[in-house]
Each structure stands twice: as C-alpha cells, then as structure tokens.
Amino acid sequence: MAKAKKQPRPRAETPKGFRDYFGAEVTERQAMLDTIAGVYRRYGFDPLETSAVETVESLGKFLPDVDRPNEGVFAWQEDEEGKRGDWLALRYDLTAPLARVAAQYRNDLPFPYRRYAMGPVWRNEKPGPGRFRQFYQCDADTVGAPSVAADAEICAMLADTLEAVGIERGDYIVRVNNRKVLNGVMEVAGILDPDDPSKHEAERGIVLRAIDKLDRLGPDGVRALLGEGRRDESGDFTKGAGLGEEQVDTITAFLTARDAAASDLSSGKVTLTPGSMFGGIFDKAGAQDLYEVSDRIRELQSSPMGRHRLQNHATLAKLVALVEPSETGMAGLEELAQMADLLLSQGYGPDRIVFDPAVVRGLGYYTGPVFEAELTFEIVDDDGRPRQFGSVAGGGRYDDLVKRFTGQAVPATGVSIGVDRLLAALRAKGRTGGSDRGPVVVTVMDRDRMADYQAMAAQLRAEGIRAEVYLGNPKNFGNQLKYADRRNAPLAIIQGADERDRDVVQIKDLELGARLAESASLEEWKSQPAQFECPRAELVARVAERLARE
C-alpha cells in the first residue's frame, strides 16, 4: 500500500536564546509601553515604526565587542530570482533605523524631529540566564537639535518616565557623563591624539570596556585591565590595555572622582563658586581655589538634597582639574555643567540626575553626553544573593550617525529604555505581576444545549463581562471546574437539566470559595455561600454584582 513517507517530528522548542510571553507578561508590558508613550507624547514626541528588517549596510557596525562582519546581528542575503542580492538583517536597536529614516525623509520631516519608537530588537549574542536575543526597547530621540538643551530634556523625560511607570523617586538615578570628557582623559593619558585619532584605537576600546565594568570589578579590577590584564575567578585571563602606571593613575583618578570628592566633602575641603551651581565653575580661571570651607556648604550639608548638590559640584571641580589640558575634555565638562544648570532650574536635582565619570555606554556611535538610568534598590538574584538591580535605560548624543548617509552633519540625541528589564525590576519589587483575573466560565452540563450556554456567555459579554463557554470534552464535570480554576475564573455558571426545567442557574463563586477554603470558620461558610442559585433572567445582574464585590 502506498503510504506518505514518514517525516521525523520537529522539536517543539523556542530557538536558543528566545522565549515566549504569556498572559499578564504581555498585558503588563503593553500597559508599560502605553504609559511610556504617554510621557513621550506629552513631551512632543511623535511615533515612528520602522520595519524589523534593514539592510546591513544601513545598520552599520556599532555594536560593542563586535569585530567580525555581521557578528552581533541576525543577517541573511537576499535571493533575487536566483541572484544574490542585498544583505539584510534584523535591527539591533531603534537608533540605527532612525538615522536611516532621518536621512531618507530629510526633506519631508519637520526638524528638529522628535520621535519615539517601541518594539523588539534582536542581538545575535550568546544567550545566558536572563539574557535573551530578542527584547523590547522604547526609545525617544531628537534629531536636528544641536544644543545640550535637547540632552537635558531627554534626561528629565527619562526621570519622569521612570516615575510614571512606578519607580519611586529615590529608587533610581540617572547618571550622566560626556564622551568628550572621556576623550579628554584619554588625551591627558596619552592614548588619544586629536590630530590622529586612528592611533591607539585598540587601547581605547579596552579602556572604555574596562571603565564600563567598574561596577562589577571595582577599581582594582579596572586597574588590572588598564594595565597588563586580569585573571578572573575561573582562571580565564583577559588581556589589558598595557598602559603604564601613570596613565593608569590618571584614568583611575578620573573614575574615582566622585568618591574622592565625597571624601573631600566629609573632611571639609570644598567650597562653592559664585554664580550658578555648576556653570559658575567655568567663570573662573581654574578649579584650585574651590577647596575651602564656607557657611553655605555647612548649610547644604544639613539636608540630603544639599549633600547631593555639593557632591556633584565637587566631582565636577575634580574633573576640571584632571582634564584641563584637553580642549575636548573641557568642552565636555562645559556641556555637563550646562545640562546640570538646565536640569536644576527645572527642579531635577542630583537626587534624580547626577554626573558619573564611569558612565561609558557601549555603543560605538556616541559623540557627546551619554547617560543611563540605574535602579538603586537591591533585589535577590537567581543565586539568592542580594544585588543592585542596575541599568534599565541608556542613551546619548550621536552627531555623526545621520552623516553616514548624507555627508551632512545632523546632531541627534536620545534614550532607549529596556522595557523587559524595567518590568523585571517592578516584579522584583512586587509592584506588578498580580495574576490576571480570568473569564467567567459557563460550564456545559448537556452538550446538546451548547447554543443555550453560548447565549449566556454572549449576554455576559454584552455587559462587558469577560466570559466563555467550556469547549473541552464536557463529560467529566470535575475537569470543567479544574479548568475554571486554572483560568483563574472568578465564577462558574452551571445549568443542568433540573435547573433548566426550573429556569434557574447556579453561580459558583470560585474566588470566595478559595478564600473560604483557606481560612473560614463554619459560621463564615454558612453566612457567605460560595454557590447560590438565581433565576436565569437575573444571571447577568447577579454575576455583575458578585464581580464588583470581589
């Protein structure tokens, strides 16, 4: 007998590094995206949705730690009637597509172009625990705005957004740095020659990656990576940048400027400049004369907010002393001071937004201010150890990204929120993740009366009540109630032949039943019946009443 050849069964598995999201995981993310979009819109940003697929050429190569071509992205080559065509790839972020759009529609868009975008991005990386190859970003960018007023606005909006989604003030901090300051320090350390930026490129890459690991490795680990290299706990050796002692000292002093300033503060070695809090620094010749005690400092030190302000101020002064020889570095510090000025005048003090010389941001395209939002509360990690939650958003200025396409400089700045991480943080804090209430389940006592049961569900839905008829095999009634439980159904509706003849229905309150089963006394059982009968005509009214009560 002829029989179709048997194929081996496919494996029912998500590809490595990908995952599925069920129920409340989906609705909570959508609710968060809606909230974020609401804040972005209020700031004047307009939505843009680009396709998931871009040409590899237009995406460019800006991912960190990526040297080989097409590494880091999922890419394939077009097959055009047998001929090989363009290389296409899944976007790895929402910024590269924006740069393409800004170039492609440069004559049609209003500039400055404020746009927000949300959606999945893909990274072809080695998956790890909690590390997925598809994740959501929610970005806002301003293209065509040269001044740091745009960067300051983005930072303020980032703080507002975090609070809007439920991260309380004090539980997050937006840390701001500037690539020009980083470049200034590397100039001072002798690994960046402004006249020939192609020199020392490899060393600078290692240095930036080392700085980025300060949180995890501490100053000593970073020092090792700046020098000869570092052997980790597993015995693996990471080759360092090979810098000399003095160079390492310069960069370490830069990184630890905040701590050094803090210790200056506590020993009373800091003073204030006239003029505005930060801008004032640049009205003076140097920073040496800042280190004196004053009454104003004592006053500031008496409040937490005041201490934050002093801390920022003193850090900036330290940095001025360090990068003064570099024009680029001083320009970066000036930008930082201007941003702080604008933010302070709108009430965004260092309790929400601070400088931090250790902020690098991995992506290769940043040219000016860079920032990231970190959650400061502790969570318990998978190994049961408490740790800081860490970064949930980042961004910065990337003035050359549109220029890649057009040859004309187009300044741009923006932020990207890692929505999945932010959701995980809220769940870890217990601020979301309540299980979804399921539908009212209409059970099936008599399979020939399916039309009657469907009519009950339809009537409930017409009143806006989530409802469904059990559609599995109705033979075993216990299975129907088990199903209702698994669906988190608040109520089950039952109408057998007897109820049908008397034109009534049974309403079983599963939520109440579960609560009573846990704790109730016999009296309570009697006074709050978890199952009751009502005329069929009153079904909708009684269900609505019960649901409102729960």
Q: Please give the residues from 131 up to 150 whose contact with a second copy meets the rule CB under 8 A.
A: 133-134, 142, 144-147, 149-150
Rank residues 169 and 447 by Cβ distance to a second copy and give the closer one.
Answer: 447
What are the backbone dihedrals phi and psi of residue 548, each rounded to the nearest 5 degrees, phi first? Answer: -65, -30
Dist. CA 396–CA 373, nearest whole Å: 12
Considering only residues 232 to 261 of the shown chain, the ones binding a second copy according to CB under 8 A are none
Nearer to a second copy, 238 or 488 (CB): 488
Interaction of residue 454 with a second copy, rule CB under 8 A: yes
Q: Residue 137: which H helix or E strand, with range? A: strand 134-143
Q: How many CB atoms lie within 10 A of CB 185?
A: 27
Using the minimum distance from each CB to a second copy, give the nearer residue, 150 or 189.
150
Cβ neighbours of residue 257 closer than 8 Å, sequence gap 6 or more? 315, 318, 319, 322, 357
Stretch of 111-119, 212-220, 367-375, 376-384 lying at the interface with a second copy (CB under 8 A): 111-119
| Residue owning tokens 């970005």 | 139
For position 282 contacting a second copy by CB under 8 A, the verdict is: no
Give the largest Cα separation in the chain, rounded: 101
Q: How far apart are the first and last CA of the chain?
A: 62
Query: Residue 380 or 471: which CB sits closer to a second copy?
Result: 471
- Smallest gap from residue 138 Cβ to a second copy (A): 13
Minimum distance of a second copy from residue 196's CB (angstroms): 6
Which lies closer to a second copy via its Cβ, residue 156 or residue 225? 156
Close Cβ partners of 128 (under 8 Å, ≥ 6 residues apart): none
| Cα–Cα distance measured from residue 338 to residue 97, given in angstroms and rounded to the nearest whole number | 30
Q: How far apart are CA 213 and CA 463, in angstroms?
A: 56
**Minimum separation from the CB atom of position 492 to a second copy (A):** 13
Closest alpha carbon to 357 in 170, 175, 174, 158? 175
Smallest distance from the beta carbon of 506 to a second copy, in angstroms?
19
Of 196-204, 380-388, 421-429, 523-531, the window that binds a second copy (rule: CB under 8 A) is 196-204
Dihedral sign from CA coordinates of 29, 31, 37, 42: negative
Burial class (CB in 10 A: 0-12, 13-18, 19+), 274: exposed
Residue 107 interacts with a second copy (CB under 8 A): yes or no: no
Q: Toward a second copy, which CB reaches closer, 264 or 468?
A: 468
Give the tokens for residue 88. Answer: 């296409």
268 DSSP 8-state letter: T
Site for a second copy in 411-450 (CB under 8 A): 436, 438-439, 441, 447, 450
| H or E, element range at 135 | strand 134-143
Q: How many CA atoms lie within 13 A of 177 on its CB side?
A: 26
Residue 470 as a binder of a second copy (CB under 8 A): the answer is: yes
Binding mask 197-226 for a second copy (x = CB under 8 A): xx----------------------------
Please identify which residue in 209, 269, 404, 536 interacts with a second copy, judged by CB under 8 A.
404
Distance between CA atoms of residues 310 and 306, nearest Å: 6
Question: Total residues contacting a second copy (rule CB under 8 A)?
Answer: 105
Radius of gyration of the chain from its Cα atoms, rounded to whole angstroms: 30
- Closest to a second copy by CB, 41 vs 269, is 41
Site residues (CB under 8 A) for a second copy, limited to 11-40: 11-16, 18-23, 25-27, 29
Report the residue number, 106 or 213, with the smaller CB distance to a second copy. Answer: 106
Among 472, 476, 532, 535, binds a second copy (CB under 8 A): 472
Indicate the Cα dihedral angle 274, 276, 278, 282, nearest 10°. -60
Q: Side by side, which strands form the sheet with 113-122?
A: 113-122, 134-143, 412-418, 386-397, 369-380, 172-178, 353-355
CB of 48 to a second copy, least distance (A): 6
Residue 80 CB, shortest distance to a second copy, in Å, is 9
Which residue number, 20 or 501, has a Cβ lying nearer to a second copy? 20
Q: Which is nearer to a second copy, 152 or 224 (CB)?
A: 152
Binding mask 53-92 for a second copy (x = CB under 8 A): xxx-xx-x-------------xxx-x-------x-x-x--
Per DSSP, the residues of 454-468 read HHHHHHHHHTT--EE
Does the footprint of a second copy cover residue 480 (CB under 8 A)? no
Q: Helix or strand or coil: residue 274?
A: coil
Residue closer to a second copy, measured from CB, 2 or 522 = 2
Binding to a second copy (CB under 8 A): which residues in 339-378?
341-342, 345-346
156 makes contact with a second copy (CB under 8 A): yes
Minimum CB distance to a second copy smaller for 130 or for 325? 130
Q: Minimum CB separation from a second copy for residue 153, in Å?
A: 7
Q: Going along 398-449, which residue ranges are E strands?
A: 412-418, 440-442
Provide the minimum distance between the beta carbon of 114 and a second copy in the complex, in angstroms, as a whole number. Answer: 7
Residue 461 binding a second copy, by CB under 8 A: yes
- Strand, helix or coil at 197? coil
Which residues, 6 or more positions from 76, have their beta carbon under 8 angstroms from its beta carbon? 87, 88, 89
